[in-house]
Amino acid sequence: MVQSPMVDLNLMTFSQTHPVECTWREIGIKTIFPFFKFSYNIPLIMKSASAKLRRAPSVIMKTTLNSPVKTKPTLTKFILVSSLFCVISLCVSVLLLAKTKIIDLSNSPQHDVSQSDPTTVDHLVFGIASTGTLWPSRKQYTKLWWNSIPNITMRGCVFVDALPHEENVNNDDSLPPLCVSQDTSQFLYTYKRGLRSAIRVARVVKETVALNHSSVRWYVFGDDDTIFIPHNLLKTLSKYDHRLWYYVGSNSEMYEGNQVYGFGMAFGGGGFAISSSLAQVLAKVLDSCIQRYPHLFGSDSRVYSCLTELGVGLTHEPGFHQVDLRGNIFGLLASHPLTPLLSLHHPDIFDPIFPNMSSITSLQHLFEAVHVDSERILQQTVCYEKQLSWTISISWGYAVQVFQNNMLLPEVLRVERTFRQWLKGNFLRGIYNFNTREVHPDPCKRGTIFYLDKVSSGKDGIMSSYKRDFQNCSYEASMSKLEVINVVTNKLHLDNKQTPRRHCCDVLPSNAGNLMEIAVRECNYEELIYMN
Domain parsing of the chain, residue ranges: 9-99, 120-322, 374-521
CB-CB contact of 402 with 526 (8 Å): no
pTM of the model: 0.78
| Exposed e or buried b per residue across 14-53, where buried means at least 16 C-beta atoms within 10 angstroms of its C-beta | eeeeebbebbbeeeeeeeeeeebebebebeebbeebeeee
pLDDT confidence tier of residue 232, bands split at 50, 70 and 90: very high
Distances in Å between the alpha carbon of 72 and those of 42, 43, 85, 402, 442? 18, 19, 20, 97, 102
**12-44 pLDDT tens trace:** 333 343 443 333 333 333 333 333 343 444 344
Residue 32: predicted pLDDT:
37
Residue among 7, 3, 15 nearest 47 (CA): 15
pLDDT confidence tier of residue 71, bands split at 50, 70 and 90: very low
Decide if pLDDT at 60 tops 80. Answer: no
Bridge partners of 249, per DSSP, are 316
d(CA 529, CA 504): 7
Mean pLDDT of 386-394: 93
Residue 221: predicted pLDDT:
99
In sequence order, the 6+-apart residues with CB closer than 8 A to the CB of 339 are: 236, 317, 318, 319, 500
Decide if pLDDT at 383 tops 80. Answer: yes
d(CA 442, CA 449): 15
Mean pLDDT of 398-425: 93
**148-175 pLDDT tens trace:** 888 889 999 999 999 998 766 667 788 9
Residue 17: predicted pLDDT:
39
Mean pLDDT of 239-249: 97
CB-CB contact of 474 with 361 (8 Å): no
Residue 22: predicted pLDDT:
37
Length of the chain measured in residues: 532
CB-CB contact of 174 with 167 (8 Å): no
Mean pLDDT of 414-432: 87
Class of 120-322 in CATH: alpha beta
